[in-house]
Amino acid sequence: MRALWLFLLPAVVFGSPCDGLTGLTIPDTTIISATAVGAGPISLAGMRAPLTVTAFCRVLAVLRPTSDSEIHFEVWIPPADAWNGKFEGTGNGGFSSAMEYNRMAEALNRGYATAGSDTGHEGGDLKFGVGHAEKINDWAYRAVHVMTDESKLILRAYYGRFPQYSYFNGCSTGGHQALSEAQRYPDDYDGIVAGDPGNNRIHLMAGFLWAYSALYKDSASPLPAAKLPLINKAAVAACDANDGVKDGIIGDPRRCKFDPGVLLCRNGDDASCLTAPQVEAVRKIYSGPVNARTGEKIFAGFPRGSETGWPGYFVDQPSPSRNEFWKLWVFNFPDWDWRTFDFDRDLAYADKKMAAVNALDTNLAPFKAHKGKLVMYHGWADPVVPPEDGVRYYEAVQKTMGGAAKTDDFFRLFMAPGMGHCAGGVGPNSFDAVGALDQWVSKGEAPRRIVATHSTAGKVDRSRPLCPYPQEAVWKGSGSTDEAASFSCMNPGARP
C-alpha cells in the first residue's frame, strides 16, 4: 500500500470531516465529491428499490491506473462513533458496471466502511473491451485491487487510521473477483467471501455455448421453457430422498442419476414428454462440454435440479449467452457464427489469448502466509455457474496446498443444496457468510457450520446448516426436517 503521508495536501489532516476529503491527493485518483448523507431511505441510479441506511459520508472518485483506464468507485464511510473499525469491499455481477448498492448498504448498516466500483466501464455490453486491452484487465482483476488500495487511504484520512480488518464480499463475478484478489493480491484483504464464482471464465463461456448448441445447432425440436418444470419435477422425484430426507431438495446432484429418457414421448410430441432430440439435448446439458478429439471434459455440466433457471441463459434465447465474448473479445469478428465453434482448436486459442480473464491459480500460499481466511459457497442448484466447477477448484487448491488439513485452516467451501445462483431456489439460501468470516478472522473461530434459511412471502419456513465440504447436513433421525437443529454435519455416507 502506498504511504499515505506522501500524498496528502497540507490542508488535509488525519480525521478530516467528510467534505474535507475532496482535498485529498492520491496519484492516479481524482476525488469527485464527498457528501454527508443522513440516515433514512436513499435511491441511487441502478437500485431496484430505495434502501434504508444509517448516516454516512459518500465519496465518489475516479481511478486511472493506466492511460486507458477510467474506474469509478464509491466509498461509504460511517461516522467514527458508528464504525466497527473494519472495511468491506464489494464485487459486481456478470460484465455489468453496476455497483452492489444493496450489499454496500448491508455492510454500512452493520458498521463497516464499504466500497464498490464500476470495474472501469459503463453498462454490461462487452463492446467496452474492443480495442481496449487495459479495460478488459480492469474488469478482470485490476479495478477491485486499486479500489481497495485507494479506499483504505481515504479511510485513513477520514478516521486517522487504517481499518483493523478488511474483507471482500462478492458473488458470481463478485466471486470471481474474490478469488482473483486471493490469488493476485494476497495482502489486500484479511478475509474473503467468494460466492458462486465464475472464475473459470473462458470455460464458463464455452459451457453456455455448449448448452445452447445442444438445443439449437442440429435439433429439429428445440426444448421450450414450458417443459423445464416437467424435467425438474422428474429429477427431484428421482433423487430427492438420496440425502435421507424427502423435502423437495436434491442434496448433492452428483449422486443423482436421473435420465431424461424416462420422459421420452411415446405417441408424438406434447407438453407431458420430451422428443428424442430434446432428451439428447438435456443429457448433453447435464454432462457439460467435451473435447471431441481428446475426450477431455472441458467444463462441468449444469446440475440436475437447476432446470427451471435455464431460460435465463440458454433456453428460449435468440443466441448463446455471452456470445459477444467470442465475437468481440476472442475472434474480433462481429459477424462470427457460433455454429462454427470448435471445442478443441477454438477453445485452445481462447485459453491462450484471454488467460487474464480467469482466476484459476491454486497456489494460495501467499494469501495463507498473510493469515488470510477464505469462505467460498456455491448453490448446488446453480443454473448459471455449474457448482461442480467450484468443487473442482477447491479440491485443486487442496492438492496444491498439501491436503485437506493444510487447506481447511484458511479456506473452507460451503455447498448449499437447492440454492440457485447466489440466492433463490427451493433450498435454504439466506445466510451470513461475512459474519462467519469475521469470527474466523477476528476471533480465530473457524466456521464449522453456517445456518441458512429459506423464506416464503417474507416468512422463514425452513432452516438448515451449510457444512464445510465435503461434509453435508445429515438428519439426526428425529426432530423437524425444517429445523437446522435436527441436522449434523457429517462426511458423505455417514448416517446416525
pLDDT in tens, 161-189: 999 999 999 999 999 999 999 999 999 99
Mean pLDDT for the stretch of residues 254-260? 97
Question: C-alpha 385: how far from its chain's center?
Answer: 9
pLDDT attached to residue 495: 61
Mean pLDDT for the stretch of residues 406-424? 97
Please identify which of the residues 72, 121, 203, 421 carries the catalytic annotation: 421
Kind and range of the H or E element at 442?
helix 433-443
Please identify which of the residues 382, 389, 438, 486 carries the catalytic annotation: 382
Task: Compute CA distances 127 → 203, 320, 323, 351, 486, whole Å.
Answer: 20, 17, 12, 20, 51
Determine whether 271 is exposed, middle or buried from the number of CB atoms within 10 Å of its CB (0-12, 13-18, 19+): exposed
Indicate if 382 belongs to the active site: yes
Bridge-based pairing state of the strands 459-466 and 472-475: unpaired
Question: What are 308-358's pLDDT values in tens digits?
Answer: 999 988 899 999 999 999 999 999 999 999 999 999 999 999 999 999 999
pLDDT attached to residue 146: 98
Bridge-based pairing state of the strands 86-90 and 113-117: parallel
Please identify which of the residues 69, 117, 151, 172 carries the catalytic annotation: 172
Indicate if 421 belongs to the active site: yes
pLDDT attached to residue 44: 87
pLDDT at 393 over 90: yes
Q: SS3 helix, strand, coil % of the chain, rounded to 5?
A: 40, 20, 45
pTM value?
0.95
Nearest-angstrom CA–CA distance, 77 and 60: 11
Phi then psi for residue 158, to 5 deg, are -75, -45
Beta bridge partners of 113: 87
pLDDT attached to residue 8: 44
The one-letter code for the residue type at 282 is V
41: which 3 cell numbers? 431511505
Indicate if 219 belongs to the active site: no
Question: What are 199-217's pLDDT values in tens digits?
Answer: 999 999 999 999 999 999 8
Beta bridge partners of 373: 191
Nearest-angstrom CA–CA distance, 2 and 81: 27
Question: Are the C-beta atoms of 451 and 463 separated by less than 8 Å?
Answer: yes
